[in-house]
């Protein structure tokens, strides 16, 4: 890396200037993102409450769905409120430390969105392909063999990416064309060579979401071969697996577009690049409760009962 010149200082305060192209129309973005934020929080909170409160849902598959809801509930909290305030009140400033902390939690929780799908795919594989050994494989000591390596991978790769970004001197300005501290949006403001940062960031994409996608796909291919000849049960399992793969494929496509747009100068408008970066985090948080909650029969039944009970309580209170 080239040394800083004597008359150039490294910035420690940044301006998040996402969607600046919209000018006076920028505050209009507050409303659609607020609606998505409220729906995400409400749906994931309801899903988490139902699974925790119902003892019949305390099996490995539902615990994993609860873990997904917990991640989807937490992730938007690290960037959406700040983004909404920026749209409404034009509050755009963030310190370097705050930026790095935000970046770490956003990318770490984003990594666990795909990793939880891997654990869910393994759960379905054990349940469908090796049912006699399911409880043994999904017991805590056995399942930790699959959990710990992926947790270490996620924490190590995200910490490496963030620490490398934090060690850079930033003298090419302090305005990020983004709504939160995305890795490459910050790295673009650094002095000297950032090839290592770009390479490590790209490697992390292929080691986490891309690798997870291939593991999930391989697991479901094995499941397909086991269930296609099993009648209605097989069709149900096939339908569930296809749904998971479609959601993962859409999420992965958005992730790759967002990440590669910073590395391949293809004329993609800045606002579109920011939108894809937001949606690869926000899309799963909004739609996972539908895919993994409402479409799961047992959870859907308990959700209907919970909502019905709440409605009855309200009716009694108002009468």
pLDDT digits (tens, 9 = 90+) for 83-122: 999 998 888 889 999 999 999 999 999 899 889 888 988 8
Question: Domains of the chain: which residue ranges?
Answer: 13-304
On the question of pLDDT at 5 being above 50, the answer is no
List alpha helices for 206-269, DSSP H: 211-227, 231-260
On the question of pLDDT at 6 being above 50, the answer is no
- Residue 90: both structure tokens together: 């034009």
Provide the pLDDT for residue 3. 46
Multiple choice CATH, 13-304, 3.40.50.740, 1.10.10.10, 1.20.1070.10, 3.40.1160.10: 1.20.1070.10
On the question of pLDDT at 228 being above 80, the answer is no
Q: Rounded to 5 degrees, what angle do the CA atoms 201, 202, 208 make?
A: 90
Q: To which H or E segment does residue 176 belong?
A: strand 175-176
In 3D, which of 125, 122, 296, 94 has the Cα closest to residue 225?
125
Mean pLDDT score, 257-283: 73
Query: Phi then psi for 188, rounded to 5 degrees?
Result: -60, -20
Q: Coil, strand, or helix at residue 257?
A: helix
Query: Phi then psi for 176, rounded to 5 degrees?
Result: -100, 130
Q: What is the DSSP letter of 131?
A: G
CA 236 – CA 212 distance, rounded (Å) = 23
- Residue 228: both structure tokens together: 């296609």
Residue 87, C-beta contacts closer than 8 angstroms, at least 6 positions apart: 19, 26, 27, 29, 30, 33
CA 128 – CA 122 distance, rounded (Å) = 10
CA 94 – CA 13 distance, rounded (Å) = 6
Do the beta carbons of residue 19 and residue 29 sit within 8 Å?
yes
On the question of pLDDT at 41 being above 90, the answer is yes
Give the best-scoring range by mean pLDDT among 132-146, 196-210, 242-256. 196-210
């Amino acid at each position: 890396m080239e040394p800083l010149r004597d008359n150039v200082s490294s910035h420690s305060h940044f301006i998040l200037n996402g969607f600046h192209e919209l000018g006076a129309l920028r505050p209009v973005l507050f409303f659609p993102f607020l609606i998505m934020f409220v729906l995400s929080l409400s749906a994931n909170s309801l899903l988490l409450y139902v699974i925790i409160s119902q003892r019949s849902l305390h099996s490995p598959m539902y615990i994993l769905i609860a873990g997904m809801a917990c991640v989807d509930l937490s992730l938007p909290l690290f960037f959406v409120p700040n983004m909404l305030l920026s749209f409404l009140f034009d509050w755009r400033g963030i310190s370097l430390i705050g930026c790095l902390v935000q970046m770490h939690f956003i990318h770490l929780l984003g990594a666990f969105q795909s990793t939880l799908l891997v654990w869910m795919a393994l759960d379905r594989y054990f349940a469908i392909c090796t049912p006699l050994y399911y409880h043994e494989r999904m017991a805590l000591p056995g399942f930790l063999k699959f959990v710990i390596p992926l947790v270490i991978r996620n924490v190590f790769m995200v910490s490496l990416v963030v620490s490398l970004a934090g060690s850079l001197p930033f003298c090419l300005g302090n305005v990020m064309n983004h709504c939160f501290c995305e890795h490459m949006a910050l790295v673009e403001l650094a002095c000297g060579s950032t090839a290592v940062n770009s390479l490590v960031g790209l490697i992390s994409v292929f080691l986490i979401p891309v690798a997870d996608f291939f593991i999930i796909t391989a697991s479901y291919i094995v499941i397909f071969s086991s269930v296609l000849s099993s009648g209605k049960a097989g069709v149900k399992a096939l339908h569930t697996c296809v749904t998971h793969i479609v959601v993962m494929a859409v999420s992965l496509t958005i992730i790759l577009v967002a990440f590669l747009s910073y590395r391949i100068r293809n004329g993609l408008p800045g606002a579109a690049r920011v939108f894809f970066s937001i949606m690869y985090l926000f899309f799963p948080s909004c739609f996972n409760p539908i895919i993994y909650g409402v479409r799961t029969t047992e959870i859907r039944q308990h959700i209907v009962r919970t909502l019905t009970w709440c409605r009855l309580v309200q009716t009694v209170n108002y009468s």
